[in-house]
Each structure stands twice: as structure tokens, then as C-alpha cells.
Amino acid sequence: MRSPRAHVAPWGGALLAAVPIGFLLLAGEHPVAVDGWIHFAGVGLAAAVATGAALALTVAGAVAGDARAVLAGLAFSLMAALLCLHGAATPGILVDMNGVVALTGAATLPVGCAILALGTLPAFRSHRAVRWLLVALVVGTGGIVALGASMIVWPSLVPAVPEPRSTPALAVLAIGLAAAVIIGFRVGRTYRLTRRPEDLAVAVGVTWLGTALVAALVYDFTNLGWWFGHGLELVAIALVGVPVALDLRRSAGHRSRPLWGDLRGAELVEAEEAFLGSQVRALLVALAGKDASTEEHTRRVARLAAEVGEELGVPAGRLRALAIGGLLHDIGKLVVPGAILRKPAPLTDAEFDEIRRHPKAGADLLRELGGFDPVVHSLVFDHHERLDGRGYPRGLAGHEIALEARILGVCDVYDALVSPRVYRAAWSHEQALALLRDGAGTQFDPRCVQALERVLAYARGEAVEPAARRRARSVPGPAAPGYAGASDAFLSAR
């Protein structure tokens, strides 16, 4: 069964994201008359606090050399500073009627969303971009301060702002929403991979930023929706900014993740407790206590399977399941006697029967523990199935075997062959691939074999990986002299 959280969190998040939209539709045009002091104090002071927090995120990102955190800090800093000026420019408090209050109110969200959307471009992720982003922060902040000064000295210089629902306002709204959609798509991918509450918070926050943008450009200060949008905007900045800051603080060598959607499947495996949960971590610790070489094997297989899954375009949610299934595919070996796992000689038929128990034992264990996706269950149960029906434990054949299980099966065999075992030397990389090629179409899915070859070629520098997928990879296991052939029993062995 799936955990209640796996069901409730996405639906709960979608409902939470939709509530402000429903409110605007139902009550956005409701007329209100709010005292200027409420706008001055509420927006101005809250935005001042947000400005300080955003600047802190920028500084932390700069110290860590994380351009993405600096970019987020730049966006939040300018948004919060514009809101701060927006509150300070409230007519009748510090100054008379002016154009700055309208200009800053209309510009805040489009500016912020446009800057955040730049994070999708590789040029704005490199540590070399940090310096230029800091320059942009200084220039942008200086521009906002200059705008505030102009309000007092030359109020006529402040440009007119389009009326709500006018053609220019709707054009700005369309551009801002397009940027928010780009960000939201990438945030959604991150959440589908990690299922972390903080990533869900970012997804909700991005949706609320888009909703607040609608409120700012469709309503005016005489409508309840306009005031509601102000509060929603501040809360949304916190929902997006705080998880980015927390991710940066605890990253331990990894970069901030929630906004950018470029988390790789291999990184899920490398930081399984952070991204996949403490339950997965606890099971791996138990497996390492049983047999360290088996636990190391599962990690290599999981990383390789995640890379092959990405090469084949497996969707984010199923890629997460593939990473978990790869890490836990041999968890059923907890029930196999250690003497069999570490036996420095071929297994007897009775001992091999014990080994063959581990897929079902693993699936039974996950079912008993609860909380795992059905895809993970099938991966643990089916990773020794073969296209020709000669695998185990169920003898599945052809399309009865899910793509993820075919990927995992190919990666499992490759790593088993190229890794040294107590009962044999390691095969060479070339010999292992030759065996997989020979079995392509009968035992192994040809697409999976070819994708594995490409991934390994990228890692070995024998082929140029597409820029969108380029990342440092490692080839699991050393190359060593091997054997001329292999039996089905060997391919399914320890």
C-alpha cells in the first residue's frame, strides 16, 4: 500500500494552491475602504523584514558560490524592496499622491518572476555568474532607492502605470504568468522526484505568486482582491524563499534545489536520506550490516539505473521509484544466510534456491513496512525476470515486465559482472557489454542495453553526452579479466 502522505500531500498542496484563486473569483471585486496607515505599516514593515531575509539568502549563496541561491536572493530582494517602497509611498502618510506607489505595486511580481525564470538558463547557474548577479543586486537596489528619491524631488518623472485590466496591464500579466508557469513546471519536477514537504511548499508559493500577480494587475486599491494579493505576495515570497535558504544551509556540498528542477536521479541515490526518506536509509543500514558488498552493489546499481532511466526519458515520479527500487532491490537478502552470500565457491542447488527467495522476501518486507510505491514493490519483485520468461520468481515474459524492471535487470547484471566477488574475479567492461548485447531481445530489453551503453560511454569519455544531461558520472566496478561465458544461474547469483 502507499502511505497516506503519498496520497494526501500532492492533493492537499493542489487544494491549498487553488484556495486563493477561488477567493479572488468569488470576492476579488468586493469594494473596500482601507485606511492608508494599514497599507503603510502592514506592507512596508513586512516587506522590510522580507528584504533583510532575502539579502541574507543572497549573501549566504554568494559565500557558498551557489549562483542559483544568489539569483533567488536577487529576485526576492528586489521584490521585497519594491514592496517596501510601495508601502512607504502610501499617499497621505509620508508623501502626497504619487505615481511610485502604483509603479512599484505593478512591477514587483513581474520583475521577480522574470528573474527567477532566468534560473532555467545554464548561464545563470554557474558559479561564475555570482559576481554579475551581485552587481545586478547593487544596481537594482540602487535603482529602487533612486526611484524613492524621485518620488520626493521630481514626482512628475514617475511614469504612468497602466490601468487594471487595460491592454498593457494584461500584456504584463501574460508575460509574468508565463515566467511563473516555467518556474512552476520545474518546481513540480523537483517535488515529484523528492516528495519533500518543503518542495511542495515552493510549488504552492510559486502558484501564489502567480495568483498575486493577477490580483495586482486585474484589481485596484478599492477592491478586496487587490489587498488580498498584497498579503498573498508576502506569504508566497516566504514559502519560496525559506526552503531555498534551508536547502542551502544543509546542502553539505549540494546546491540549492527546490526552484530549478534539475535534480538528477543519481543524486537521489547519493543522498538517499535527504531525498528518499529515513526508511530507505534504515533499510540500507540493515543490509550493510548483513553484507556490505551487497549494500555497495545496490547503490551502484541504483545510480546506474537512475541514469539509464533518465536516458530513456522515464518521468520524474517513476524515476524516483526507480531510484528507490534500485537501492532496495536486494533487500530480501536480509533473509538469506550470510554464509551463502559470502560463500567463496559456487552455490549448491539448495543454496541457490535460498538466493532465489530474495525477490519475494524483499517485496513481502516492503509490503509489511508500508509506505512504498507499487512501482517499487514490482521492481524488488521483478528485477530477475527476463523477456524470454526464464527469469524468477514469477516467470514473467515480454511486456509483462515493466520498463523500470527491465532497466534495473540490465544494470543489476552489468554491475554483478564487472564487480569482483568472493567466488570469482570481475569481468571486463567489454565482456559484460558483450554478454548483454548477446542477450538483447531474448533476456534483456534492447532499448535498455543500448541506453546503458550510452550512459557508460558518457562516463568513460567515449561519447559526448547531450548538454542537458551532462554531468560527472562514474563507471561502477573495476575492469579485470573475466570468463568466456556465463550460465543463467550465474546471471542471477549473489
Crossing angle (nearest 10°) for helices 224-249 and 197-218: 150
DSSP assigned state of 425: P
Other beta carbons within 10 Å of 165: 12
Q: d(Cα 474, Cα 476) in Å, to the nearest integer? A: 6
At 298, which helix (H) or strand (E)? helix 292-311
The torsion region of residue 471 among left (phi > 0), alpha (psi -120 to 50) and beta comes to beta
Q: Which single residue is written with the C-alpha cell 554464509?
A: 339
182 SS3 class: helix
Percent of residues, the chain, with pLDDT higher than 70: 89
Q: d(Cα 235, Cα 233) in Å, to the nearest integer? A: 6
**Number of residues in the chain:** 494
Exposure string of 296-321, with b = 16+ CB inside 10 Å and e = fewer, is bbbbbbbbbbbbbbbbbebebbbbbb
User: Which residue type sits at 402?
Assistant: A
* CATH code that applies to domain 266-491: 1.10.3210.10
Residue (of 34, 27, 31, 20) closest to 234 by Cα position: 20
Residue (of 430, 441, 416) closest to 484 by Cα position: 430
pLDDT level of residue 491 (50, 70, 90 thresholds): very low
pLDDT level of residue 485 (50, 70, 90 thresholds): very low
Longest Cα separation, the chain: 92
pLDDT tens readout for residues 369-396: 988 999 999 999 999 999 999 999 999 9
CA distance readout (Å), 158 to 172, 190, 386: 18, 41, 71
Q: What is the DSSP string of 451-491?
A: HHHHHHHHHTTSSPPPGGG------SS------S---HHHH
Displacement of CA 330 from its chain's centroid (Å): 26
pLDDT at 493 over 50: no
223 SS3 class: strand
pLDDT tens readout for residues 124-151: 777 788 888 999 999 998 988 888 888 7
DSSP assigned state of 97: S
pLDDT at 255 over 90: no
pLDDT at 215 over 70: yes
The stretch 87-114 carries a mean pLDDT of: 83
Residues forming a β-bridge with 440: 444
pLDDT at 79 over 60: yes
pLDDT tens readout for residues 47-75: 887 888 788 888 888 887 888 888 888 98
Q: d(Cα 478, Cα 493) in Å, to the nearest integer? A: 19
Crossing angle (nearest 10°) for helices 316-328 and 403-418: 40
Percent of residues, the chain, with pLDDT higher than 90: 39
How confident is the model at residue 484, as a pLDDT? Answer: 33
Residue (of 417, 401, 426) closest to 304 by Cα position: 417
Q: How many degrees, rounded to 5, is the angle at CA 152 between CA 80 and CA 50? A: 10
pLDDT at 283 over 70: yes
The stretch 220-234 carries a mean pLDDT of: 90
The stretch 301-309 carries a mean pLDDT of: 97
The stretch 423-442 carries a mean pLDDT of: 93
Q: Which of 176-190, 279-293, 297-311 has the lowest mean pLDDT?
A: 176-190
Q: Which of 64-78, 244-258, 348-362 has the lowest mean pLDDT?
A: 244-258
pTM comes to 0.80
Q: d(Cα 244, Cα 77) in Å, to the nearest integer? A: 14
How confident is the model at residue 121, as a pLDDT? Answer: 79
Q: d(Cα 209, Cα 115) in Å, to the nearest integer? A: 13
